[in-house]
Structure 1
Amino acid sequence: MNRSERFYVIDKLLRTQRAVPIEDFLAALEVSQATFKRDIEYMRDRLHAPIVWDRAAGGYFFDHLNLGGPHYELPGLWFSAKELFALLAAQKLLGDIEPGVLAAHLAPIQSRLASLLETFGHSSAEVSHRVRLLSIAKRQLEPRYFADMASALLSRQQLKVEHWNRSRDEITTRNLSPQRLVHYRDNWYLDAWCHLRDGLRSFAAETLVRVAVLPEVAIDIPDETLNAHYAAAYGIFAGAPREIASLIFSAERARWVRYERWHADQCGEDLPDGRYRLKVPYSDERELLMDVMRHGAHVVVEEPHSLRRRLKEEVDAMFLKYSGD
């Protein structure tokens, strides 16, 4: 952390403890004792912080009785990337909610978010205007059905649904034991035990065209089983990994890809000529193919052969559509 961030940590410790031992500061700040003492002297001399050492108490504290000196104020500290995203995302989500029973309850939260955004001297409206959060390919979802999914999930009841399979353009009726709701790439998915297929499945929420909560108790699947099933392979398509995709990106595209996280168990390697090899486990090739294809000629599927063949078939089909131009 930089020096301004350390000032805020020191300030927080002094405000939450009666007397703070130097060891607590060093552990929280992860700096040397000499650096800490320089920070304390700077806060005293430049920021007028009323920090004193109490030998009897064995620590530092704020001397709140020293009111005659100059006003103490910390320097401005801007949000981290994660903090700014969290604040703006929360503000955007609350702003998208239609007027209803929650409006009165959410108003104080919205007001608090606005005040947080204005903490460092910039209006909430200006921050929202200058910093944008963009959603890509967000699909429409029936609010009533989503509410039933969430209700059954939390009350541990089964659902009866009509599921539209987009690939085959057909609808099947299923009973589900909901396990988790997942927000992934701007869309909602329901992880559930499917009683029709007798196994775990993921359903895009907007493909459940009819939803009814049943009185039957939902089956509970252990977290370890869910994690192994849904987190092991690439993307939203679950299941134990069947293959490891080895992808080689051009030296130009490597400047971006080497900083991207495609999977928790990915393995990256810089090649001597500047290219980058990325290996990711996957169980279903569909989403992986979409992500590979967005890099066009800047990526080559090294292995497995089945993924190379499937990509070639897709590229050949695309070529035929444009070959007459």
Structure 2
Amino acid sequence: MSEVLRLYRYKALLGGRRALSTEDLMAKLEISRATLKRDIAKLRDQFRLPVVFDRDRGGYFLDGGHTDSELPGLWFSDHEILALVTIQQLLTRLAPGLLGPKLRPLQDRLTDIMAKHGLEGAQVAKRIRLVHAGKRSLKIEAFEAVAAATMARKRLLVTHFNRQTGERVRREISPQRLVHYRDNWYVDAWCHLREDLRAFAIDALTEADVLNTQAKEVSEKTLDQTFGGGYGIFNGAPKQIAVLKFTPERARWVRREQWHPEQEGRDEPDGSYVLSIPYSDDRELLGDILRFGSDVQALSPPELRAKTQLALLAAAGRYVNAEKGRV
């Protein structure tokens, strides 16, 4: 048992009506007498927990006048401190000006805990770098409205901008959960216009108003089945399997990547790597394939292979036209 868990167990063990003897504590915590003495001293002196030993009662207990005492801090290993510091930096940089004001009390609490371990926030920030790629700006008001409706279980009246068609559609949705994916925020919701589940990019919501109407509830199982089966952010049950073959050079990276929870991969004799991925919508998948350029080949299905080929030819054509002075 780690020291963290053990020290927390003392409060539960000693908070009852019966005093526990030295032998009882040693047996329950599976520790030596020397460890018990060190733990009791730490609880009393460092964390101000009112541990009392009474000879008449034959053991240790928490002072009856302070049984509601809370441990004033958390104990962390070196690895846990690093994780804690990383969380603090995430709170600061995940969405500056968006989440900061709402999470300031939590961030202040994390700073206090770090200080007890001799970690100065400003110095620690210099040692952690978070790199964002493809992060889109969004309206704070829209995010706050979506978050408020999601937690309060209320419906939203939103105007959604479809970037593919350029259309703006007014619709009513019942938000189910917030999703942070590839540096951007989405909301999984029941769309009352389409009578189906949809994932909406919050930065594509030009208007968002919380309604007094109770949101339609969708089970977590249904949400996972709907949004967990597709590729990336797109929902829907998998319809096809994409088979991609990566060059030996690129395989050194890809074989360690997770593209989908149900993916399958195999190494070829020449060092190349074949990855099979279920998908329902090929838009995001196609974009991920194209970013590997000549290091990947779409083997199947035929329609995905054809789309990849056409996209690459169109890209090459732009360079040819540019060379000829045509844009």
TM-score range, shorter chain: 0.7 to 0.9
Letter in 2 for 1:245: A
Relative distance call for 1:109 and 1:190 in structure 2 (3 A) is: closer
Count matched residues: 277
Equivalent of residue 227 in structure 2, options 224, 227, 230:
230
- The residue that corresponds to 1:89 in the other structure is 90
> Which blocks of at least 5 consecutive residues in structure 2 are unaligned?
11-21, 43-74
Calculate percent identity across the aligned residue pairs: 37
Letter in 2 for 1:186: D
Q: What's the CA shift string for 1:44-99, capped at 9, x where partnerless?
A: xxxxxxx527xxxxxx62356899xxxxxx99734487555323212434864588
If the length of structure 1 is used for normalisation, what is the TM-score?
Answer: 0.75
Whether 2:214 is the aligned partner of 1:221: answer no
Instruction: Note if contact 1:159-1:176 (Cα within 8 Å) is conserved in structure 2.
Output: yes
Whether 2:164 is the aligned partner of 1:183: answer no
Deviation at 1:238, TM superposition (A): 0.5
- The residue that corresponds to 1:62 in the other structure is 37
Instruction: Note if contact 1:14-1:20 (Cα within 8 Å) is conserved in structure 2.
Output: no
Q: What's the CA shift string for 1:209-260, capped at 9, x where partnerless?
A: 1222223322211221111100011100110111111111111111111111
Deviation at 1:261, TM superposition (A): 1.3
- The residue that corresponds to 1:16 in the other structure is 9
Deviation at 1:21, TM superposition (A): 4.0
Letter in 2 for 1:16: R
* Separation of aligned partners in 1, 2:85 and 2:311: 40
Letter in 1 for 2:316: F
Deviation at 1:12, TM superposition (A): 4.7
Root-mean-square deviation (Å): 3.1
Alignment partner of 1:130: what SS?
coil
If the length of structure 2 is used for normalisation, what is the TM-score?
Answer: 0.74
Relative distance call for 1:307 and 1:170 in structure 2 (3 A) is: same
Instruction: Note if contact 1:163-1:171 (Cα within 8 Å) is conserved in structure 2.
Output: yes
Whether 2:53 is the aligned partner of 1:52: answer no
- The residue that corresponds to 1:317 in the other structure is 314
Letter in 2 for 1:124: G
Relative distance call for 1:155 and 1:259 in structure 2 (3 A) is: same
Deviation at 1:114, TM superposition (A): 2.9
Letter in 2 for 1:221: V
Relative distance call for 1:99 and 1:173 in structure 2 (3 A) is: closer
Relative distance call for 1:262 and 1:117 in structure 2 (3 A) is: farther
Relative distance call for 1:15 and 1:206 in structure 2 (3 A) is: closer
> Which blocks of at least 5 consecutive residues in structure 1 are unaligned?
1-5, 26-39, 41-50, 54-59, 68-73
Instruction: Note if contact 1:137-1:186 (Cα within 8 Å) is conserved in structure 2.
Output: yes
Alignment partner of 1:297: what SS?
helix
* Separation of aligned partners in 1, 2:76 and 2:202: 46
Letter in 2 for 1:61: L
* Separation of aligned partners in 1, 2:100 and 2:242: 47
Summarize the alignment of residues 37-48 of structure 1 with structure 2, pairs less than 5 Å apart.
Answer: none
Whether 2:259 is the aligned partner of 1:262: answer yes
Q: What's the CA shift string for 1:274-318, capped at 9, x where partnerless?
A: 111111111111111111112111111111111111111111110
Relative distance call for 1:188 and 1:297 in structure 2 (3 A) is: same
Instruction: Note if contact 1:76-1:120 (Cα within 8 Å) is conserved in structure 2.
Output: no
* Separation of aligned partners in 1, 2:128 and 2:240: 40
